[in-house]
Amino acid sequence: NAGVTQTPKFRVLKTGQSMTLLCAQDMNHEYMYWYRQDPGMGLRLIHYSVGEGTTAKGEVPDGYNVSRLKKQNFLLGLESAAPSQTSVYFCASRRGTADTQYFGPGTRLTVL
């Protein structure tokens, strides 16, 4: 049982490039979330999903897209990266809304 995994761990992009971050969980959780962590701001919710095939916007969704084609995977896409998207990205999942949210190890993204 690997829990929540994220790919890649590190990435450097140039402004305007695109990329996809992959989050996978093997706990059969319904709910999945993408957060970004910036110094002095805690974690902020980007997008979330309450089940396979569903997604919704969080607090800071602009510049990001997501997809949940399979229950175990939640993809975060950056279509045209900007330096303001330099951050550490965390994925999380939980079985139900009353359950503990489990976090992945994070992806450190730098946009030059």
Partner 1 sequence: AQSVSQHNHHVILSEAASLELGCNYSYGGTVNLFWYVQYPGQHLQLLLKYFSGDPLVKGIKGFEAEFIKSKFSFNLRKPSVQWSDTAEYFCAVTLTDSWGKLQFGAGTQVVVTP
| Selected binder of partner 1 within 21, 94, 109, 111 (CB under 8 A) | 94
Strands 4-7 and 54-57: unpaired
103 is a contact residue toward partner 1 (CB under 8 A): yes
Residues 92, 102: contact at Cβ < 8 Å?
Answer: yes
Question: Among residues 17, 58, 60, 65, which is the contact residue for partner 1, using CB under 8 A?
Answer: 58
51, 56, 61, 64: CA torsion to nearest 10: 50
Direct distance between the N- and C-terminal alpha carbons of the chain, in angstroms, rounded to an integer: 36
Q: Judged by CB under 8 A, does residue 8 bind partner 1?
A: no
- We find the least distance from the C-beta atom of residue 67 to partner 1, in angstroms, to be 18
The nearest distance, CB 8 to partner 1, in angstroms, is: 15
Contact (Cβ atoms closer than 8 angstroms) between residue 5 and residue 103: no
CB of 45 to partner 1, least distance (A): 6
Residue type present at position 89: Y
The tokens describing 66, both together, are 């997501």
Determine the interface stretch with partner 1 among 8-16, 18-26, 31-39, 62-70 (rule: CB under 8 A).
Answer: 31-39
Judged by the rule CB under 8 A, the positions of this chain that interact with partner 1 are: 31, 33, 35, 40-45, 48, 50, 56, 58, 90, 92, 94, 96-101, 103-106
